[in-house]
Amino acid sequence: MSNHPRRLRRTKERIGEKVVATIAYTAVVAMILIFAFLLHGALPVLFDPETADVAGTAELLLPDQSSPEPYAWQPISDPPRFSVWPLVLGTLKVALVALLLAIPLGISAAVFTSEFASRRAREIVKPAIELLAGIPSVVLGFLALTILSSLLQNIFGWTYRLNALTAGMALGVAVIPIVYSLAEDAMAAVPATLRNAAAALGASPWQITRTVVIPTALPGVAAGCLLAFGRVVGETMIVLMVSGNIATMSASLVDSVRTVAATIAAEMAGVASGSAHYHVLFALGAILFLFTFVVNLGGQAVLRVLRRRTGEGVIP
């Protein structure tokens, strides 16, 4: 009789393990299938002679030296021009602005609520920031389109009302909760014994935060920044509404831009299935997928280094 409950418990544990493992492997298989689908649509750009000729496969990554505009995304021109570099540059410009806004604000808010805020202030600030994650991106894009872009143009007199800076600012607001949540959880998970030991040595609250809490929680903070970067690179609706959707090679942040994700969203619905333009858009999707995959791999390597340097660190 005594062995029966034990065998039943072990059976339940094995079933639970199998279920969890099945879910994990399903996620891996789903990722592989998504990439295979993108690759299947993109391969004609490389291996189908007719599609490669129309799409200008070499021009995707190399400049067209015979043209006055060696880098151009003009899919409906005659002949069509498909250079990925204006889209990549636009994506990086918007991502740079968004991260420069989101990372300092998110980490600063996390430090405040974790180390300095009173209990009442923490109960107000933490839910308020995390609720930002529940605001649909189309709402943030609409507010930036109707209010922020006009306000900034009136103040600074920019030529383009919709530009990379405005889009990046709106996107930065969208990813602040990602940085904040992971950073705050990592800081809250730092053992109280470390804070007490530093306080016993005479360290001030700010010194404890700067020399103990932040270095120990650094892997978790870095993880939040990496997730935020992945979000801003793949964001569609905000940049589609606020960036201006002009593919240029300008380095200015106040010029209109177009991102890779916005290009796919804007053009896929109206393109003829099986056309060169159709397969080029799949190639853009594959490039975006590979880019985020490589960034995640690099991020994992960075996190491993940070864990070793901080004595395994604290990651929620």
Per-residue model confidence as pLDDT tens digits over 91-144:
999 999 999 999 999 999 999 999 898 889 888 988 899 888 888 999 999 999
Please give the CATH topology (third level) of the domain spanning 81-309: MetI-like fold (1.10.3720)
Does the pLDDT value for residue 225 go beyond 70? yes
- How high is the pLDDT of residue 315? 41
In this model, does residue 309 exceed pLDDT 70?
no
User: Residue 71's pLDDT is what?
Assistant: 81
Contact in structure between 260 and 91 (CB atoms under 8 Å) = yes
Bridge partners of residue 136, in order along the sequence: none
In single-letter form, the type of residue at position 269 comes to: A
Nearest by Cα to 188 from 315, 274, 276:
315
Q: Which long-range contacts (CB under 8 A, 24 or more apart) does 305-314 make?
A: 306/218, 306/219, 306/222, 307/219, 310/215, 310/216, 310/218, 310/219, 311/216, 313/216, 313/217, 313/218, 313/219, 313/220, 314/186, 314/189, 314/190, 314/216, 314/217, 314/219, 314/220
Environment class of residue 99 by beta-carbon count within 10 Å: exposed (0-12), middle (13-18) or buried (19+)?
A: buried
- Among residues 274, 91, 68, 112, the alpha carbon closest in space to that of 205 is found at 112
Q: What is the amino acid identity at position 61?
A: L
Model confidence pLDDT, tens digit, residues 20-32: 889 989 988 998 9
Confidence of residue 248 (pLDDT cuts 50, 70, 90): confident
**pLDDT at res. 316:** 44
Q: What is the pLDDT of residue 3?
A: 67
CB 233 within 8 A of CB 66: no
So what's the pLDDT on residue 1?
Answer: 47
Candidate ranges 233-237, 295-299, 300-304, 309-313; pick with highest mean pLDDT: 233-237
What pLDDT is stored for residue 302 in this prediction? Answer: 74
- From the CB of residue 161, how many other CB atoms can be counted at a distance below 10 Å? 18
Mean per-residue pLDDT for 216-237?
88
> What number is the average pLDDT over the span 163-186?
93
What's the pLDDT score for residue 291?
Answer: 84
Structure token digits, residue 66: 């015979």
List the single range of 239-243, 244-248, 292-296 with lowest mean pLDDT.
292-296
